[in-house]
Structure 1
Amino acid sequence: MSGTMRTKGGHGRLGSVLSGLVVAVGCVLFLGGFVWGALLYQPYTVPTDSMTPTLDVGSKILAQRIDGDEARRGDVVVFTDPLWGSSPMVKRVAAVGGDTVACCDPDGRLTVNGEPVDEPYLRPGPGGRTVASGQAFSVTVPSGNLFLLGDDRHTSLDSRTHIEEAGQGSVPRSTVIGRVDAVVWPAKGLLEPPRGFAGLPGGISRPGPFAQLLTAIASGTVLILLGAGYGPVAGLLTRHRPGGPRSGPREKVGA
């Protein structure tokens, strides 16, 4: 009997130790995911409708903190430029330093260095026809600068508006403070990669670690719940096991 009790007690202690380890690992993943996310990402609110339908006005977005030199064609970036306004703004990189960006080709598409770019994220204009710009232009972007456009080319005030200024409407790469990776509200999730720019030199940016962060946080949550639930479940199973302790009063012997 004593050997059986020691065995059961040993199993119970082992289960408690393992459940504690599971909770500890879960806490590391859960808290680590949040800390990692806070270091890599900065939340913003989209101030205008110039990026619709990709980003609605008032959307809550997460922008990965990057250096402006990391920005590539097709990226949706957050930037601050005193000539454009005092608040952070959100636009899409249409061309980088050295590119000649023009609009439009016979199919209404943007061209970069003579190559047409498909942009399925654009908002259709009157009559349902999608054109990359209602305003014809051709600009050679100065070295170290970015030419930025909104996805709603009919209402966006972007590089086209500033073409007559120095830099022909482009902004220095140093103004970029983040690259939008995900839309958290309304919950659209990760932004689709801009495939239309993929064939150009330098390619497109790889997705940020947002998906891995969510996986770490979700896994940590599950482990914490599993570990914390071990004790109550184990106790419940013990009470209902044959030979286990009874919950009701015991009849006195020899009364």
Structure 2
Amino acid sequence: MEKIVKPRLFDTHCHFDFQPFQSDTALSWQQTYDAGVTRLLIPSVGMNNWDAVKKLTTMAPQQLFYALGFHPYFLTTDTGFMTGTGSMTDGGAMNLRERISCLEAYLAEHDENCVAIGECGLDAIVDVPLSSQEEIFIAQLSVARDAGLPVILHSRKTQARLLQLLKQHKFTQGGVLHAFSGSEQQAQAFIQLGFKIGVGGVITYPRAAKTRRTVARLPLDALVLETDAPDMPLYGLQGQDNHPKYLPLVLQELAQLRACSITDIAETLWFNSHQIFGLHCS
């Protein structure tokens, strides 16, 4: 009987330091690997978990990677954030310059498994002034430029503004637009700036018609896969924690939407993931 070879998959966005993975990280990684997801990128959300994401990658060097940054959602729950003008968003004591200085210092000691800045971006839903979010996002673009790293973008109802800022600050190192759920025109605008489009569990929902149509039409060389686990559960698994072991289901749905075989697209997605993070595609 011919042996069935699983496609190689790279989960480009998984919060592997969050619960429920903390209870048995080794088991979670084994389940992930057994599913064919042999590489995984862990984005950070703030200073409080930089050490955690870095330490996790030592469990499987060259298979687990990480990114460092400030997520807009966590600006008031990490160590505090103060704008450049001195106005406080919470009771924290660190201002913008101090936070960015900490990021620069941490990056100076980073290892080869740190491959991006992020998760960073803008979020119109969270209770943090957009002006404050923009300040720290722009500062992170500067850090990424100096470090020669791409960025992992978070965006909720802010894609137009993110595009403006990326163009305004002439950011050319690209990255990944995480958790994409927009129009083809919006996606193409990011692609033209050197970004890949993160395709996740949202495409498994029949009601996500616009996003499903878009990922079916976009160039395959502009796409990467992600789960955002433990968030963003797939259709049929609502109410459960998401897991990187479910990434093959996202691949399967993408192949169906594009009317291609899984084998035909899997290697391209594998290559795309390594290319955008400057990794050797073995």
TM-score (ref. length: structure 1): 0.22
TM-score (ref. length: structure 2): 0.21
Structure with the largest fraction of strand: 1
Larger-gyration structure (1/2): 1
Structure with the largest fraction of helix: 2
Q: Relative contact order (alpha carbons < 8 A, sep ≥ 6): 1 or 2 greater?
A: 1
